Amino acid sequence: MTLRDLLADARALIECESPSTDLAAVARSAEVVARVGAARLGVAPERIVLDGRTHLRWRLGAEPSRVLLLGHHDTVWPLGTLADHPCTVEDGILRGPGCFDMKAGLVMAFHAAAGLDGVTLLVTGDEEIGSPSSRALIEREARAVTAALVFEASADGGALKTERKGASQYEVRVAGRAAHAGLEPDRGVNATLELAHQVLAVSGFADRTAGTTVTPTLARAGTTTNTVPAEGAFAVDVRARTVAEQERVDQAIRVLGATVPGARVETVAGPSRPPLEAAASAPLYALLCRLATYRGLPEPGRAAVGGASDGNLTAGVGTPTLDGLGAVGGGAHAADEHVLVEEMPARTALVRTLVERLLAGSPDPLATPTATRP
């Protein structure tokens, strides 16, 4: 593995744009990812198309899989972004749409897994929109292994993501009754007024001490400026560090009651991901730190982050999960997205050592090691 190879593979992936919402673009990207991955892994992937979205799965070796390596090839960038933000490497910085989140990480996964036996490598095509088609596939693969390693980009300074908040989305819908706002407003049931009560009630479900955020976001109500609104709705974004907190908010938001006489309130649940709790990552993080020390490297940092990933799904089914193993850099989803290229070889080699340790065949690969071996 050389830095030159890593960068060449990353360029191939970055220069095939893959916005999640464009099924044809995702399919084209899957072909490039399949070609690059097959060249490094020595075997072609299985193409899995679900709801029109293309995912790739490699089964490496003859042994049953014990480790899942997980990533995605879709991005948030629309077609044509390369024209203004081309893929470049200058002064040790790799740039280009999706380089940090997470095409450089995919390349690192390919190089980390090359030649190993007992690994499944799954690359999905819809993570950036909440994994609607791949969720069941990810959870099924995670249940079959002893550990899941997620090659999403690192946190600041290369820190691993050892804790991710769970994410839940809701829409609160309000029904009232229309009336002329000037002639007979009292004959109406004002959906905007009910909406205001509900926004304040929902905001109160947050718990700063527990790290739980409950944020009303997009809102709408009414039809014209001189009509008492007959209906309205607002979206709610919930982030929670623990399953218990996620469930507490879910129960509270589902039993909202109307405040304005005659109004009706309905809550519709949207996509959700369970939290990646610290306990799910602790054994893998500790093992990686021991391996780093054994190799004479500094222990990687760790971070708790608010954003969700497919690591939330693997942790949610009870599989030990370590996230943020991909590229070091910054600017995810932003114009300054970038990767520090000098970090790629050593980080890839360290993760490979972790995979090898997990495949070593001990009864409990996450057990505390002896004094002489990590």
Structural domain boundaries in the chain: 3-164+276-358, 166-273
3-164+276-358: CATH, from 3.40.50.1370, 3.40.630.10, 3.40.640.10, 3.50.50.60: 3.40.630.10
Average pLDDT, stretch 181-196?
A: 97
293, pLDDT greater than 80:
yes
Does the pLDDT value for residue 371 go beyond 50? no
Q: How far apart are CA 214 and CA 234, in angstroms?
A: 13
Residue spans of beta strands (DSSP E) within the chain: 46-50, 53-60, 67-72, 88-90, 93-95, 119-124, 147-150, 160-164, 166-175, 179-180, 213-221, 227-228, 231-240, 264-273, 302-305, 321-322, 329-330, 338-340
pLDDT exceeds 70 at position 352: yes
Give pLDDT tens digits for 83-100.
999 999 999 999 999 999
Q: In the structure, what pLDDT confidence band is assigned to residue 270 with cuts at 50, 70 and 90?
A: confident
Average pLDDT over all residues of the chain? 95
Q: How far apart are CA 324 and CA 276, in angstroms?
A: 12
CATH 3.30.470.10 fits 166-273, yes or no: no
Looking at residue 364, what is its pLDDT?
59
3-state secondary structure 58-91: EEECCCCCCEEEEEECCECCCCCHHHHCCCEEEC
Q: What percent of the chain has pLDDT over 90?
A: 94
Angstrom CA distances, 55 to 42, 76, 127, stand at 18, 17, 10
User: Environment class of residue 361 by beta-carbon count within 10 Å: exposed (0-12), middle (13-18) or buried (19+)?
Assistant: exposed
Tokens representing 59 are: 């089964």
Check whether 362 has a pLDDT greater than 70.
no
In tens, the pLDDT along 115-136 reads: 999 999 999 999 999 999 999 9
pLDDT of 369 strictly over 60: no
Catalytic residues: 74, 127
- DSSP category for residue 207: B
Q: Tokens for 186, please give them.
A: 């009292």
pLDDT at 271: 82
- Could you tell me the pTM of the whole model? 0.89
- As a whole number, mean pLDDT of residues 268-288 equals 94
Query: Which pLDDT belongs to residue 367?
Result: 61
Give helix 23-41 / helix 104-113 axis angle, nearest 10°.
30
Contact 279, 286 (CB under 8 A): no
Residues paired with residue 88 on neighbouring β-strands, in sequence order: 95
Percent of the chain at pLDDT exceeding 70: 96
